[in-house]
Amino acid sequence: MSEEKDQVLVKRTLRGDRKAFEMIVRKYHQPLLNYVGRMVGERELALDFTQDVFARAYASLRSYAPQFKFSTWLFKIASNLIIDHWRKKKLPTFSLNEPLGSDEDGLTLDVPDDEPGIGRKFELAEIGRRIEGALEELPGPLRELFVWRHINELSYEEMAEIKGLPVGTIKNRVFQAKEMLRRTLQEMS
């Protein structure tokens, strides 16, 4: 289904056609649930949150600007909802604009020669299972980017649009999230 079709569905919904919004829900509930689920951890909570995302999107559909992709608009609503949830639960969070440490992200380091490889120890399915566990160890903002990139397969441009940050910053943070997750996997094995 193309972006143009999304715009048509939005227009139809605004004219009062609820069936059009139902089509939007059918199209986007799975990617949103995959994202929200990995962010909040609990299945029931993830289902509630995803419902909230659609309810908020419906109520504020008139404020959607058609020059942006509809999917990125939905992810932005979801992301704001999750940030609110983190704040309420007083979970640690930070701005992706802030530097994280003196070495920044370790991305400029050369590859160490004697690293034990995870790939040689486990099968692909086992690595997948371990990634689920390692994801929970990642700081929220980095986990979000990792999920968007690898599970939702969003482009860097789409992520930059959602977060309102430059593409370069987002790319850096995604690489940083990947590297942090790999180190966690190493520690876990």
Closer by beta carbon to other proteins, 57 or else 162:
57
Q: Which of 3, 5, 30, 80 binds other proteins (CB under 8 A)?
A: 30
Q: How many residues does the chain have?
A: 189
Total interface residues for other proteins by CB under 8 A = 56
Q: Which of 115, 133, 166, 188 binds other proteins (CB under 8 A)?
A: 115
Closer by beta carbon to other proteins, 127 or else 165:
127
Closest to 143 measured CA to CA, from 172, 115, 178, 112: 178
Site string for other proteins, 123-142 (x = CB under 8 A): -xx-xx--xx----------
Number of neighbours of residue 100 by Cβ within 10 angstroms: 16
d(C-alpha 164, C-alpha 186), whole Å: 33
Query: Is 94 within 8 Å of 139 (Cβ atoms)?
Result: yes
Closer by beta carbon to other proteins, 28 or else 162:
28
Number of neighbours of residue 130 by Cβ within 10 angstroms: 18
| Coil, strand or helix at 64 | coil
d(C-alpha 37, C-alpha 48), whole Å: 10
Closer by beta carbon to other proteins, 162 or else 185:
185
Query: Is 10 within 8 Å of 73 (Cβ atoms)?
Result: no
Binding site for other proteins (CB under 8 A): 13-14, 18, 21-22, 25-26, 29-30, 33-34, 36-38, 43, 46-47, 50-51, 54-55, 58-63, 106-113, 115, 117-119, 124-125, 127-128, 131-132, 146, 150-151, 153, 171, 175, 178-179, 181-182, 185
